[in-house]
Amino acid sequence: MELVIITGLSGAGKSRGVDALEDIGFFCADNMPPKLIPTFTHLILNSKEIRNKVAIVTDIRVGGSFNDLFNALDELKEMDCPYKIVFFDANNEVLIRRYKETRRKHPLVDSCNGSLIEAIDSERITLQPARQIADYIIDTSNLTAAECKKRVSGIFLDNPTKAMSIHCVSFGFKYGIPTDSDLVFDVRCLPNPFYEDHLKEHTGIEQPVIDYVMKWDQAKTLINKLYDLIDYLVPLYRSEGKSQLVISIGCTGGRHRSVVFAELIREHLSDAGLLLSINHRDIKK
């Protein structure tokens, strides 16, 4: 059985993740206290109607019993039941905006004297140990609902136990580094197409910008050195059991140089038997 445990911050997109998993054949159970996870899993494994794909959502809504998660995971290991943990995250500004838009009530707001910011910070502290052991961290701060579902589907549509998932992200440093990054490369050292009038309004997925960025010797040398480093690191991460690797490439605004390099890295990895996805976070800014 393929078991996925979903957790993360309230308002970070867990519901979208569940929708995506249901669409690709997962049986999903929401708001489950961690203590019940081993019992529920045992029932599923021994039911006549065997479910090959099961997703369980557990988060701060279960209150103090969320701290039982690690004991539940130990029981799953004793049952010889493998699992993957998906953690949904988003920055505070985005979470506050989403709560204001939906007018939903944060589960911890009452215990934090009505302060939404304090509730989010308290939840983040409580969930940090789960984030540290997660197999997949999905930061939805800059993802639309459709992009969030596509990201989840891309991970689990194929068998994730047979391949590492690599997510390439281009971004602009002026908008902040993606919080789920594993590797961050800075390409601001290269000549900037932004200062060329005929290229300023174009992006790194267009050939004139690609040609400009890659015509410089330093760009050619840098991309080859990145290829060598990534080719060396990926097998090491895989041997350590890492399921997801997020490679982030940044330039100043996230529209030109970083986009070119992210696309080149994705293309370089395309024949390596990996599950690949890409997101140009700031390309429209």
Number of domains in the chain: 2
Cβ neighbours, 10 Å, residue 217: 7
Q: Which of 162, 188, 217 is the last residue of a domain?
A: 162
- Pair 38, 148 in one domain: yes
3-class DSSP state of 281: coil
| Domain at 30, CATH number | 3.40.50.300
Q: In which band, very low, low, confident or very high, does the pLDDT at 158 lie, cut at 50, 70 and 90? A: low
If asked whether residues 106 and 34 sit together in one domain, one would say: yes
- Report the run of H or E that residue 56 belongs to, with start and end: strand 53-57
* Residue 220: partners with Cβ closer than 8 Å, 6 or more residues away: 214
The span from the CA of 33 to the CA of 25, in Å, is 23
Question: Which pair of tokens denotes residue 95?
Answer: 């979470």
Q: Is 242 in the same domain as 128? A: no
| Within a domain: 272 | yes
End-to-end CA distance of the chain, in Å?
Answer: 42
pTM over 0.75? The answer is: no
178 and 249, same structural domain? yes
The partner residues of 167 in beta bridges, in order of sequence, read 246, 277
If asked whether residues 25 and 128 sit together in one domain, one would say yes
Q: Which helix (H) or strand (E) holds 173?
A: none
Domain assignment present for 285: no
Q: Does residue 78 sit within a domain?
A: yes
- Choice among 48-52, 112-116, 153-157, 185-189 with the minimum mean pLDDT: 48-52
What distance in Å separates the CA atoms of residue 210 and residue 28, rounded to the nearest whole number?
43
Structure confidence at residue 179 (pLDDT): 86
Q: pLDDT digit string (tens) for 208-250?
A: 999 999 999 999 999 999 999 999 999 898 877 677 899 999 9
Does the pLDDT of residue 273 top 90, yes or no?
A: no
Same domain? For 248 and 207 the reply is: yes
Query: Cβ neighbours of residue 60 under 8 Å, at least 6 residues apart?
Result: 10, 66, 107, 108, 123, 126, 127
Q: Give 180-206 pLDDT, tens digit per residue.
A: 899 999 999 999 999 999 999 999 999
Shortest CA distance to 160 belongs to which of 17, 11, 275? 275
22 and 158 fall within a common domain: yes
pLDDT band for 160, please (50, 70, 90 cuts).
Answer: very low
Question: Which of 162, 196, 222 is the endpoint of a domain?
Answer: 162
Quote the Cα angle for 99-105-109, to 5°: 105
Give CA–CA dist 122/207, Å, rounded.
47
- For residue 284, CA distances in Å to 85, 269, 280 come to 31, 25, 9
Asked if pLDDT for residue 161 goes beyond 70, the answer is: no
* Domain membership of residue 227 as a residue range: 165-280
Boundary-marking domain end, from 162, 194, 209: 162
